[in-house]
């Protein structure tokens, strides 16, 4: 009988020693992969002294190694390494090296093809979704666990998609995190390390914008006192192509095929939701969601874009007139500013892509003298769901609705130039199709 306590003690000691070994905590994850470079992200333990990526073309003997030159040995060590000078339209294999030796972690990626002026516009797909909650009982609210079936990421890892676009709430800060710099870093690190995520992280490039829960407390905006830290954390765990301008915000853009995707930041400059929409019977010009700097960028980026599809991504919904929750419509001066801009310049191909709501739907609104606008909401990945109710139960603006289901969406772009089509498929935990909707480029033109 004495052997059992000894065995337990040995197991505890072994686990303790293993926890102190230099190791990969999460990843690798693919960041942006372009024509001639690629970003690879990984998080390592504080014991690690050096990190590098060794890569090569399959079947080729020549290998290259790129070392990380930043700081290590901290409580949290997210690392991004850029591989440059790559061949176009080529598949590379790579391995993460820890202290000069293989970590056993690695994968492969394929660089973009230079199709412009040379080939027909390519067909491609990307995945998207929002609201990813992982339970941590000692810090969660009491009651039924809010986090649901995380095997949805195993399903997503099998998709042959060009990239994944996270629409916000990629992790959920808790009360223990809100006003703690260490807590914000720990939340991102903890949730990124969930085992079910790991195959998905390396299966395709990842891009992201945020919403309130991966920014800070629920519904908070520009007044958040740890916003600077939150921005550092987010940029350390999602190595997007860029992150705002002048050290402000995280907005950026993705170009893939004939689609430009504008990832806006609905938190950094956001006025409090409780600020009045109108003052003395007139729309309140002080209540803004994107802010002037970002709005100026978005307008110029839309004018610069020659893409068939121009997708504006926002953490909060944009168009839903009957939603009782936060939406761009609740910031009337800024919302109308964008609507007037789209109409005045006759911007073609615009769609909105949003998250946040714990259901998926497509909202359609008509515009006098212009094509209709659509707001495609995709949610949730693993957080709790809900049922359409109250004014939203029979929303006259909804052309597709899906409630009470975990889901993600696959956006597929196909067809010859001038006759392109976008198909949106909503997919469940085990890969079952829950609904679809499609639109042509012709339907998005003045």
Determine, yes or no, domain membership for 263: yes
- Output the CA–CA distances (angstroms, integers) from residue 439 to 229, 309, 362, 370, 436, in the order listed: 40, 11, 12, 16, 11
Q: For residues 103 and 196, state if they share a domain.
A: no
Name 361's Cβ contacts closer than 8 Å, sequence gap at least 6. 320, 377, 395, 398, 400, 401, 402
Determine, yes or no, domain membership for 56: yes
115-139 CB burial, b ≥16 within 10 A, e <16: eeeeeebeebbbbbbbbbbbeeeee
Q: For residues 101 and 190, state if they share a domain.
A: no
Determine, yes or no, domain membership for 118: no
- CA quadruple 24, 25, 28, 30: dihedral positive or negative? negative
Determine, yes or no, domain membership for 119: no
Q: For residues 81 and 168, state if they share a domain.
A: no
Q: Tell me which H or E stretch contains 231.
A: helix 227-237
CA-CA distance, 313 to 262, in Å (whole number)? 6
Determine, yes or no, domain membership for 191: yes
Cβ atoms 1, 44 nearer than 8 A:
no
Q: For residues 151 and 240, state if they share a domain.
A: yes
DSSP string, 261-313: EEE--SSTTPPPTTS-SEETTEE-TT--SS-HHHHHHHHHHHHH---SEEEEE
pLDDT for residue 14: 46
Q: For residues 55 and 191, state if they share a domain.
A: no
Out of 77, 110, 143, a domain closes at 110
pLDDT for residue 18: 53
For residue 98, what is the domain's CATH number?
2.60.40.10
The number of helices, as runs of H, and strands, as runs of E, in the chain is: 7, 22
Angle at 191 between CA 245 and CA 197, to 5 degrees: 100
DSSP 3-state percent helix, strand, coil across the chain (nearest 5): 20, 30, 50
The tokens describing 16, both together, are 């303790």
Q: At what angle do helices 227-237 and 181-192 cross, to 10 degrees?
A: 20
Tokens 């409780």, located at residue: 274
Q: Is 154 helix (H, G, I), strand (E, B) or coil?
A: helix
Out of 50, 80, 110, a domain closes at 110
Cβ neighbourhood burial of 169 (10 Å; 0-12, 13-18, 19+): buried
Q: For residues 37 and 135, state if they share a domain.
A: no
Name 56's Cβ contacts closer than 8 Å, sequence gap at least 6. 62, 63, 64, 92, 93, 94
Tokens 């957080």, located at residue: 383
CB neighbourhood size of 253 (10 A): 19
Cβ neighbourhood burial of 370 (10 Å; 0-12, 13-18, 19+): middle
Q: What is the pLDDT along the chain (446 residues), one digit of tens a residue?
A: 556 665 555 554 444 445 679 999 999 999 999 999 999 999 999 999 999 999 999 988 899 999 999 999 999 999 999 999 999 999 999 999 999 999 999 999 999 999 999 999 999 999 999 999 999 999 999 999 999 999 999 999 999 999 999 999 999 999 999 999 999 999 999 999 999 999 999 999 999 999 999 999 999 999 999 999 999 999 999 999 999 999 999 999 999 999 999 999 999 999 999 999 999 889 999 999 999 999 999 999 999 999 999 999 999 999 999 998 889 999 999 999 999 999 999 999 999 999 999 999 999 999 999 999 999 999 999 999 999 999 999 999 999 999 999 999 999 999 999 999 999 999 999 999 999 999 999 999 99
Q: For residues 184 and 64, state if they share a domain.
A: no
pLDDT for residue 61: 85
pLDDT for residue 2: 55
pLDDT for residue 4: 60
Q: For residues 201 and 104, state if they share a domain.
A: no
Determine, yes or no, domain membership for 383: yes
Determine, yes or no, domain membership for 6: no
Q: For residues 102 and 39, state if they share a domain.
A: yes
Q: For residues 75 and 199, state if they share a domain.
A: no
Query: Could you list the residue range(s) of the whole structural domain that residue 135 is in?
Result: 124-444
For residue 129, what is the domain's CATH number?
3.60.21.70
Q: For residues 78 and 193, state if they share a domain.
A: no
pLDDT for residue 13: 44
Determine, yes or no, domain membership for 16: no
Out of 42, 76, 110, a domain closes at 110
Q: For residues 304 and 334, state if they share a domain.
A: yes
Q: Is 26 helix (H, G, I), strand (E, B) or coil?
A: strand
Give the count of domains, the chain. 2
């Amino acid at each position: 009988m004495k052997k059992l306590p000894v065995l337990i003690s040995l197991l505890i000691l072994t686990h303790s020693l293993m926890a102190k070994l230099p190791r990969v905590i999460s990843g690798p994850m693919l960041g942006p992969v372009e024509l001639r470079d690629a970003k690879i992200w990984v998080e390592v333990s504080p014991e690690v002294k050096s990190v590098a990526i060794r890569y090569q073309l399959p079947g080729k003997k020549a290998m290259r190694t790129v070392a990380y030159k930043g700081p290590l040995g901290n409580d949290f060590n997210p690392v991004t390494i850029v591989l440059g000078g790559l061949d176009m339209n080529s598949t590379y294999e790579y391995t993460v090296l820890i202290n000069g030796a293989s970590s056993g972690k690695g994968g492969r990626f394929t660089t973009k093809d230079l199709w412009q002026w040379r080939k027909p516009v390519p067909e491609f797909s990307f995945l998207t979704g929002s609201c990813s909650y992982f339970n941590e009982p000692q810090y969660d609210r009491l009651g039924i666990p809010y986090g649901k079936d995380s095997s949805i990421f195993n399903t997503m890892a099998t998709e042959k998609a060009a990239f994944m676009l996270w629409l916000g709430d990629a992790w959920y800060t808790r009360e223990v995190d809100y006003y703690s710099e260490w807590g914000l870093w720990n939340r991102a690190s903890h949730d990124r390390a969930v085992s079910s995520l790991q195959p998905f992280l390396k299966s395709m490039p990842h891009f992201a914008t945020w919403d309130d829960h991966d920014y800070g407390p629920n519904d908070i905006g520009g007044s958040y006192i740890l916003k600077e830290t939150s921005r550092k954390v987010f940029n350390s765990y999602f190595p997007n192509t860029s992150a705002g301008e002048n050290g402000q915000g995280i907005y950026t853009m993705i170009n893939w095929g004939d689609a430009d995707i504008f990832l806006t930041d609905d938190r950094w400059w956001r006025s409090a939701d409780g600020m009045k929409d109108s003052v003395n019977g007139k729309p309140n010009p002080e209540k803004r969601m994107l802010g002037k700097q970002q709005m100026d960028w978005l307008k110029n980026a839309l004018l610069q874009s020659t893409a068939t599809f121009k997708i504006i991504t926002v953490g909060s919904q944009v168009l839903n007139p009957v939603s009782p929750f936060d939406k761009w419509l609740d910031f009337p001066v800024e919302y109308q500013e964008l609507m007037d801009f789209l109409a005045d310049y006759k911007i073609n191909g615009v769609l909105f892509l949003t998250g946040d709501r714990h259901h998926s739907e497509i909202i359609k609104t008509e515009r006098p003298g212009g094509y209709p606008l659509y707001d495609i909401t995709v949610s949730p990945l693993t957080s709790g769901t809900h049922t359409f109710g109250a004014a939203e139960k029979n929303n006259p603006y909804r052309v597709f609705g899906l409630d009470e289901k975990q889901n993600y969406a696959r956006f597929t772009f196909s067809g010859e130039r001038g006759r392109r089509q976008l198909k949106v498929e909503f997919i469940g935990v085990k890969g079952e199709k829950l609904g679809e909707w499609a639109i042509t480029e012709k339907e998005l033109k003045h």
